[in-house]
Amino acid sequence: MDGAEGQFDFAIKEANAMLLRGAKPTAVKPEQVKVQRRRLRSVLQDIMYLACKYVQRGRQHFSKFSHACHWLCALEVLYARL
């Protein structure tokens, strides 16, 4: 075992040894990150800027994305949930 596998194996063995000695495991708190909420309007505006083509047929309006757009997968999942 080399590298990360060896370190992980050692960490598991050390944790098991500590439990056998009666030591209680300490929980690691996740680092808190300040997040700024965004308005739906500004999110949709950003998506529109990323759209490569605006299409209008009759009274329907579409945004066509290229396959290179990194938002395409996220938008497909979002549309499927609606």
- pLDDT tens per residue across span 19-39: 788 777 676 677 887 878 878
Among 2-6, 43-47, 51-55, 62-66, the range scoring the smallest mean pLDDT is 2-6
Q: Is the pLDDT of residue 74 over 80?
A: no
Instruction: Give the separation between CA 82 and CA 80, rounded to whole angstroms.
Output: 6
For residue 15, count other CB atoms closer than 10 A to its CB.
12
Q: Per-residue pLDDT averaged across 44-64, rounded?
A: 78
Handedness of CA 35, 36, 41, 42 (dihedral sign): negative
Among 11-20, 51-60, 61-70, the range scoring the smallest mean pLDDT is 61-70
